[in-house]
Structure formats: structure tokens, C-alpha cells
Structure 1
Amino acid sequence: MSAQISLRLATQDDLATILSFIKGLAEYEKLSDQVVADEEKLRETLFGSKAYAEVVIAEYLQQAAGFALFFHNYSTFLAKPGIYLEDLFVLPAFRGKGLGKLLLSYLAKLAVERNCGRLEWSVLDWNQPAIDFYQSQGAQLLHDWRINRLTGQQLVALAQQYPTS
């Protein structure tokens, strides 16, 4: 690791930085209108009594330059936990300096240390620079799989179909 680059686990003091990275990623992905996260929601879900995800901050010359937000999932086929990378983002001014690769390799190392069976994530089909980067790191693009998602009113509607006693 270069003396200019360092990684560290995020703390509650990083909430504004994490939120700014989330907004930066959303802007890059043309999804800014979908961001409802705020510092209080992040505090509760990342640092509250039940932490649902973890965050690693990448710094370049001691300046926050990128982040990775991840959580554990589980593979029934492998009977092992995995790590799911929800977000990986490096500020445009810091791209090309190796931060993305360092964040991804850190998560791979963490997965191995935690006896995980895999590290996985999603990438938008139009984001060819990210696809190329991930494949250059050995990632396999799974063409046969499609993400399914329920949010908002659809999630509530399905939940209301569960019978109550």
C-alpha cells in the first residue's frame, strides 16, 4: 500500500462523509432522486444497536476519497456466509490512483479472514468502466441472473398479504 493511501473502518464521525459519498454515487448513476438517506438514518443503521452494514473509508493524503459499504449475506449452496458489496465509490478527483482496487482487495481479504464463500455485488449494465475494472480484478459477470426487488408500496402490499393469527 502506498504511503499516500490508507483504509480505515468508518466511525460515527464519518456520517457526513458517508452521506456525501452516497450522494456522489447516486449522481454518477443518475439516481439522485432515489436518495432518501440522511445522517440520522445512517447513524441508526450503521452504528445503532444493530449494525446492518459496515463501511471502509479510503483516504488519499489523509483526505477521504472513497468508500465501500458492505454487509454479510449467506450462501445455502456453500453453507457459508458471504460479503455483499452494496456500494464502491471513489471521488472523480481520486480515480486512477488505485483506491478502488485497494478497497476491493481489502473486502476479498476480509471475506477470506471471515471464512466467507464469496464476495459479490451488482453493477449497472451501462457502466462499462466499472464492468471492465471488476473483470480486470477477476470478477465473473453472471449473465443468467437478474436482480429482483420490492420497495415502497409493493413491499408493504406483499407484507400485508401475510396472514395474521
Structure 2
Amino acid sequence: MSVVIRSATISDIPVIHQYIKDLAEFEKAPNQAVLTYLDLEQSFFDQSPQVYCLLSEVDRQVTGIAIWHLNYSTWLGKHGIYLEDLYVDPKFR
């Protein structure tokens, strides 16, 4: 089984949305994930996005997502990233 990691595209919005909803369900907070497809499109595919999404795939089937954004450590004086969500479909764990 070969895993491919790739950047999200607009056509991935439905699966990203579903995985975020699944994660909220797992966290016992299903009513708190109120984002829409449009929210995701504007967040990830704006001219200057501030948040990014990577997807994992096996045999061209999406198996998980990683949502992250850039940050900055004032103590270290270094740029970094913050991993907001990491979700792997239970069928592929």
C-alpha cells in the first residue's frame, strides 16, 4: 500500500468538510463544527490563503487530512507551523 500526500484542491472540499465533521463527532462536539463549503473554499483557495490542507491518498482514495497554518515564535525568533487538525479515516488506521 503506497500513501500519497498532496495539496488539497477545490474538488476536495466535500471530503475535507466530511472529515472535519467526523472529527467533531469524535470529539463529542458535532454541533460546534458549523463551517460550510464556502468557508473552506475561501480559507484554502483565497488569493493569499492563511491556512492550508494536505490530503493523504491510497489508490487515489482520500484517507486523511492535515490542516495547518504558519505561526511565529517570538521567543525563538523563528517561523513555524501549527497543525490544527490531523484526521485519518478509521478504515485506514
Asked whether the two chains share a fold, i.e. TM above 0.5, the reply is yes
The 5-angstrom pairing of residues 58-77 of structure 1 reads 58-77=56-75
Assess if the C-alpha contact under 8 Å between 1:66 and 1:90 holds in 2: yes
Unaligned runs of 5+ in 2: none
Amino acid at match of 1:61: D
Cα deviation, 1:53-98, whole Å, max 9, x if unaligned, reads 1111001221101010000010011111110000000011000xxx
2-structure distance, mates of 1:94, 1:88: 13
Equivalent position of 1:114 in the other structure: none
Q: CA deviation at 1:4?
A: 2.2
- Residue in structure 2 matching 1:57, options 37, 55, 58: 55
Greater percentage in helix: 1
Cα deviation, 1:12-50, whole Å, max 9, x if unaligned, reads 111111101101111111111101111101101111123
The 5-angstrom pairing of residues 66-145 of structure 1 reads 66-95=64-93
Amino acid at match of 1:72: L
2-structure distance, mates of 1:18, 1:63: 13
Runs of 4+ in 1 over 3 A off after TM superposition: none
- Residue in structure 1 matching 2:11, options 10, 13, 20: 13
1:42 aligns with 2:35: no
Q: Bigger relative contact order, structure 1 or 2, given CA contacts below 8 A and separation 6+? A: 2
Structure possessing the higher radius of gyration over alpha carbons: 1
Percentage identity across paired residues of the two chains: 40
Unaligned runs of 5+ in 1: 96-165
Greater percentage in strand: 2
2-structure distance, mates of 1:5, 1:90: 12
2-structure distance, mates of 1:19, 1:91: 13
